[in-house]
Amino acid sequence: MATSTPLTSNKHLLGWVDEMVTMCQPDSVVFCDGSEEERKRLTEFAVSKGILIPLNQEKHPGSYLHRSNPNDVARVEHLTFICTPKKEDAGPTNNWMAPDAAYTKLRGLFEGSMKGRTMYVIPYVMGPLGSEHSKIGIEVTDSVYVVLNMQIMTRMGKAALEMLGEGDNFNRGLHCTGDVNPDRRYICHFPQDNTIWSFGSGYGGNALLGKKCLSLRIGSYLGKSEGWLAEHMLILGVEDPDGTKTYVAAAFPSACGKTNFAMMIPPRRFAGWRVFTVGDDIAWLRVGDDGRLWAVNPENGYFGVAPGTNMKSNPNAMKTISKNTIFTNVAVTKDGEVWWEGLDGEVPEELTDWKGQPWKKGSTEKAAHPNSRFTAPAANNPILSSHVNDPRGVPISAIIFGGRRSTTIPLVMQSFNWAHGVYLGSTMASETTAAATGATGVVRRDPMAMLPFAGYNVADYFQHWLNMQKRVPYPPKIFMVNWFRKTKEGKFLWPGFGDNMRVLKWILDRAHGKVGAQETLFGWVPKQGHIDLSGLDIAPETVDEATHIDDGEWKAELEDQKNFFDQFGERMPKTLELIRQQLLSRLS
């Protein structure tokens, strides 16, 4: 068997790779060094095999299109398993398999699965190099598409091996695309072994193991044991005209505008204000020596949703994807330019759709898949924070929870205290999107936007959040937002996008104790006139409607929260149920 130079003498790593080779039986093994030369070589190889299709290199320098198998376009929550020794430790919201049973079942699939293929060994770091926040992973995969995406999304190659040295503390990630058969597709996490086995999918969230699998599912488990939080949150910094920088972290479910918020351009009214992106999807939060909560973004790139991205919704994302980007399942014009629903300009008369089929304007089919994606380096982002590689991370002054809710949830609300903030996060709900397979537009509880990503019992995760209060002497303030509330006629009440800066400004002012607020039964809301609407063509009554609290809707909401809490039985923290009951009693 042909094997490239291992680039390391780490016996734990080499021993484990040997085991994987014995099981998967690849024809050759390539240890990835993360170099530019390697990227070029593997890109050429991927092009020669039709795995990547070069785009118009004048319009999209260094960028390529990938078309996935049409049955493999999103995360598969029903095929994702948390394999803890006890079922209760995975909890009622996760699929569970006993570790032995899962290893046995998947070994049956992995055995001989890489015959005739190359096994790539990808050493990578999640988090800034040399940071005590960071974690090392090794992913072995048969997919060159995964290697090229991991090179964008992580700090990968020699630097990771240097950081690992001779140590044994790394995540062991095994991935094989197999025959992309949904009946033989499993994404299994073994938190107690710091191990991930993923079979049968090439889709980002299922196959780029550093992202959801390590940074969130295994990460949340490590966070609980080690006293920190791994969260599905963007991180952004705001600089005011005096040069003061404030950082916030915000959790939204998949495809609810995290990337747009993280790359926001403030409206003209906010001249002199600047927003910087630290991360658009994941935050690891730890208590700093100064007693504040500090955050790092473990990722090094963006795996963003393409449809709806345009020069109005997110000009910085458009610049970020202007070069060296891998597009997955978007449509292309006859000139080799990318296209998706919601892109600026006229809809082209003819396209090649995401499946590679001819498409005509007016077709009822979408040209780009609703969950089509771009993978782009963070370094391309014109407003990238200068602290993304800072080993300490950035200090967080506010945490924001938000869902996609047509009704009930007001535009913005501040929690009374930490425990009430945890309650707001724990009862978050959102209408489902195309980021996961299944029906879209159905309201489901998605606590802290972590429902698909918690690597252990969500009740214990809530308790861990509550316990964090004792560890953080200077905690961030906690807020809830909803950009998606609609009128009875179905029109959005709030313009969203850059205008979210107006809400963010109130949040920053509250975090700094600069502005008052109105107490309601459910939390603090802005006093009339405290959300700056200047330059915005929106009636104050519309904002009132967006911030309105309807007793009837809230009664139904609180009752539904009970059903969610009840499934956790005795493990559910009493504190959160008591807060719910107290709110309900005040309402009646």
CA distance 354 to 438: 19
Instruction: In angstroms, give the least distance from the CB of 389 to ligand OXD.
Output: 21
Contacts for 164 with CB less than 8 Å, ≥ 6 apart? 8, 10, 13, 123, 136, 170
Smaller CB separation from ligand OXD, 75 or 175: 75
Residue with the shortest CB distance to Mn ion? 281
Which range touches Mn ion (CB under 5 A), out of 30-38, 239-247, 281-289, 545-553?
A: 281-289
Instruction: In angstroms, give the least distance from the CB of 449 to ligand OXD.
Output: 8
Question: Contact 158/34 with Cβ under 8 angstroms?
Answer: yes
Smaller CB separation from ligand OXD, 278 or 558: 278
Q: Pick one of ligand OXD, Mn ion, none as the site partner of residue 177 (Cβ within 5 to 8 A by kind).
A: none
Instruction: In angstroms, give the least distance from the CB of 94 to ligand OXD.
Output: 16
Instruction: In angstroms, give the least distance from the CB of 217 to Mn ion.
Output: 12
Q: Catalytic amino acids?
A: 256
Which residues inside 362-381 make contact with Mn ion, applying CB under 5 A? none
Which range touches Mn ion (CB under 5 A), out of 88-96, 275-283, 349-357, 537-545?
A: 275-283
Place of tokens 């790539």: 120
Pairing of strands 245-251, 274-279: unpaired
Smaller CB separation from Mn ion, 280 or 353: 280
Q: Cα Rg for the chain, rounded, in angstroms?
A: 23
**Strand residue runs (E) in 256-372:** 274-279, 283-287, 293-296, 301-305, 326-328, 331-332, 338-339, 350-352, 358-360
Smaller CB separation from ligand OXD, 175 or 420: 175
Q: Pick one of Mn ion, ligand OXD, none as the site partner of residue 477 (Cβ within 5 to 8 A by kind).
A: none
CA 447 to chain centre: 14
CA distance 159 to 138: 12
CA distance 425 to 409: 12
Q: Pick one of ligand OXD, Mn ion, none as the site partner of residue 125 (Cβ within 5 to 8 A by kind).
A: none
Which residues here bind ligand OXD, judged by CB under 6 A? Answer: 75, 205, 254, 281, 303, 435
Burial zone of 444 (CB within 10 Å; 0-12 exposed, 13-18 middle, 19+ buried): middle
Pairing of strands 28-31, 118-126: parallel
Which range touches Mn ion (CB under 5 A), out of 23-31, 247-255, 325-333, 469-477?
A: 247-255
Two structure tokens written together for 39: 């990227």
Instruction: In angstroms, give the least distance from the CB of 437 to ligand OXD.
Output: 11
Instruction: In angstroms, give the least distance from the CB of 385 to Mn ion.
Output: 19
Residue with the shortest CB distance to ligand OXD? 254
Q: How far apart are the two ends of the chain, measured CA to CA in Å?
A: 73
Binder to Mn ion among 38, 280, 281, 460 (CB under 5 A)? 281
Using CB under 5 A, count the residues that bind Mn ion: 2
Smaller CB separation from Mn ion, 281 or 299: 281
Q: Pick one of Mn ion, ligand OXD, none as the site partner of residue 75 (Cβ within 5 to 8 A by kind).
A: ligand OXD
Question: Contact 438/518 with Cβ under 8 angstroms?
Answer: no
Smaller CB separation from ligand OXD, 302 or 423: 302
Q: Pick one of ligand OXD, Mn ion, none as the site partner of residue 161 (Cβ within 5 to 8 A by kind).
A: none
Burial zone of 177 (CB within 10 Å; 0-12 exposed, 13-18 middle, 19+ buried): buried
Q: Pick one of Mn ion, ligand OXD, none as the site partner of residue 141 (Cβ within 5 to 8 A by kind).
A: none
Decide if residue 280 touches Mn ion (CB under 5 A): no
Smaller CB separation from ligand OXD, 324 or 372: 372
Smaller CB separation from ligand OXD, 205 or 475: 205
Question: Contact 281/232 with Cβ under 8 angstroms?
Answer: yes
CA distance 291 to 299: 25
Instruction: In angstroms, give the least distance from the CB of 254 to ligand OXD.
Output: 3
Which DSSP symbol is given to 176?
A: E
Using left for φ > 0, alpha for ψ between -120 and 50, and beta otherwise, residue 46 falls in alpha
CA distance 276 to 278: 7
- Residue 492's φ and ψ, nearest 5 degrees, are -65, 140
Question: Contact 262/280 with Cβ under 8 angstroms?
Answer: yes
Q: Pick one of Mn ion, ligand OXD, none as the site partner of residue 34 (Cβ within 5 to 8 A by kind).
A: none
Instruction: In angstroms, give the least distance from the CB of 79 to ligand OXD.
Output: 15
Q: Pick one of ligand OXD, Mn ion, none as the site partner of residue 435 (Cβ within 5 to 8 A by kind).
A: ligand OXD
Three-class SS of residue 445? strand
Two structure tokens written together for 322: 């202007």
* Residues at the interface with Mn ion (CB under 5 A): 254, 281
